[in-house]
Amino acid sequence: MTTTVIDSIGLLVTHDSDRSEVHDAALLIEDGVVVWTGESRGAPAADERVDAGGGCVIPGFVDSHSHLVFAGDRADEFEARMAGRRYEAGGIRRTVSATRAASDDDLLANASRLVAEARAQGTTTIEVKSGYGLTVADELRSVRLAATLTSEVTFLGAHVVPEGIDRDDYLELVTGDMLDACAPHARWIDVFCESGAFTVDETRRVLEAGKARGLGARVHAGQLGQSDGVRLAVELDAASVDRCTFLSDADVDALAAGGTVAALLPGVEFSTRQPWPDARRLLDAGATVALASDCNPGSSYTTSMPLCIALAVREMGMTPAEALAAATLGGASALRRTDIGHLRVGARADFVLLDAPSYVHLAYRPGVPLVRRVWGGLNPSS
């Protein structure tokens, strides 16, 4: 087994509760696992040495929310929104048509391109949802293709009711044959619980069916207005409720008391001109917050976690340290993973060397490619 030491690290972020940040640090990895961290001068000998040149090393980003299996482009909708149009969930059906018409090879090539794009920006774990197929065959191929790219696959048959099928019949399908086909290829089930998509009662029905098939629950809620979907997510012990733009005090209290992570998706607010979620309110209440890209062709066509961090710091009341934690540890909590999102001894050796002395530069130098090198995580050739 080969050991590698990364030394001359200007600032190392471990997220260890005793010593979360170490200056003039080194990191020792063996067989894809972190086996030692500390000050450079105390670093053990190793088979290989990498000089970090004074740069900052952070855990790889854990992007807990994306929709990468799709075809087509909706730049025209974005352009119209920037001119004042509102976001409407109905645009999803355009992507459904393009996705159904695409070949497996084209869908995989597009998703792989986006995974490579995410990794180049420091993402080492990404969750990928289905949801642009919406027939048994098209959802099955979406989760199968997603499973070739990540182990964090989510079945999102309940994205919208597609054209040409009665609502009750579609719910029967999503909780029946479609779920049966997709569950073996997925870890999670999600519902788009928003006006224009699914109601709170429908969301409960779909999530309970998924849980009965062994899938963990996640929910989209609180994007377009306050909704009982947030408290439903906590009640059903969903791993995360994603959006949380509009929250009542009762929602915030429930999130603080429960085991459900509030995942905030600033790329959506950027791309839809909606109000920014109030991360400060959630953090002050004691809720666990994640930041994720929600990469999709409609409401947030970005894979960039550094962009999400910059927006969270600039617009959502987070400190740079809180935003980095939400994009790493928070994302890991949203996927109920303890092996990623930090660099404590025993963690997966998924980490990023920045061309910057501190992670503060992720927000301080917005839009600048600061990732020098990425270790571990997503398969770079996928």
10: which residues sit within 8 A by CB, 6+ positions away?
23, 24, 52, 54, 55, 56, 357, 358
Partner touching 91 among Fe ion, ligand NIG, none, CB below 5 to 8 Å by kind: ligand NIG
Closer Cβ to ligand NIG, 95 or 358, answer by number? 95
Q: What residues between 94 and 133 interact with ligand NIG by CB under 6 A? A: 95
User: Diameter of the chain by CA atoms?
Assistant: 68
The amino acid occupying position 146 is A
| Contact region with ligand NIG (CB under 6 A), list: 91-99, 138-146, 202-210, 247-255 | 91-99
Count the neighbouring beta carbons within 10 Å of the beta carbon of residue 16.
16
CA 213, CA 204: separation in Å to the nearest integer? Answer: 14
242 SS3 class: strand
CA 21, CA 16: separation in Å to the nearest integer? Answer: 8
Question: What string of DSSP letters covers 134-145?
Answer: -SHHHHHHHHHH
| Contact region with ligand NIG (CB under 6 A), list: 39-47, 140-148, 290-298, 341-349 | 290-298
Q: Which two tokens stand for residue 234?
A: 């906590």
Choosing from 40, 62, 67, 134, the residue that interacts with ligand NIG (CB under 6 A) is 67
Q: Which residue is nearest to Fe ion (CB)?
A: 294
DSSP label at 176? T
Residues that contact ligand NIG, how many (by CB under 6 A): 12
CB of 199 to ligand NIG, least distance (A): 15
Length of the chain: 382
CB of 145 to ligand NIG, least distance (A): 17
Confirm or reject binding of residue 92 to ligand NIG (CB under 6 A). Answer: yes
Q: Which residue is nearest to ligand NIG (CB)?
A: 298
DSSP label at 89? G
Choosing from 127, 152, 202, 294, the residue that interacts with ligand NIG (CB under 6 A) is 294
Question: Which residues are paired to 190 by β-bridges?
Answer: 218
**Phi, psi values for residue 307, rounded to 5°:** -65, -45
Choosing from 60, 91, 267, 317, the residue that interacts with ligand NIG (CB under 6 A) is 91
Confirm or reject binding of residue 78 to ligand NIG (CB under 6 A). Answer: no
Closer Cβ to ligand NIG, 67 or 119, answer by number? 67
Q: What residues between 185 and 204 interact with ligand NIG by CB under 6 A? A: 192
Partner touching 121 among ligand NIG, Fe ion, none, CB below 5 to 8 Å by kind: none
Q: What residues between 287 and 306 interact with Fe ion by CB under 5 A? A: 294
- Residue written as tokens 């920045």? 354
Asked whether the CA dihedral 15, 19, 22, 27 is positive or negative, the reply is: negative
Count the neighbouring beta carbons within 10 Å of the beta carbon of residue 69.
30
Confirm or reject binding of residue 246 to ligand NIG (CB under 6 A). Answer: no
Choosing from 122, 216, 222, 298, the residue that interacts with ligand NIG (CB under 6 A) is 298
Which spans of this chain sit near ligand NIG (rule: CB under 6 A)? Answer: 67, 91-92, 95, 192, 220, 268, 294, 296-299
Which spans of this chain sit near Fe ion (rule: CB under 5 A)? Answer: 294
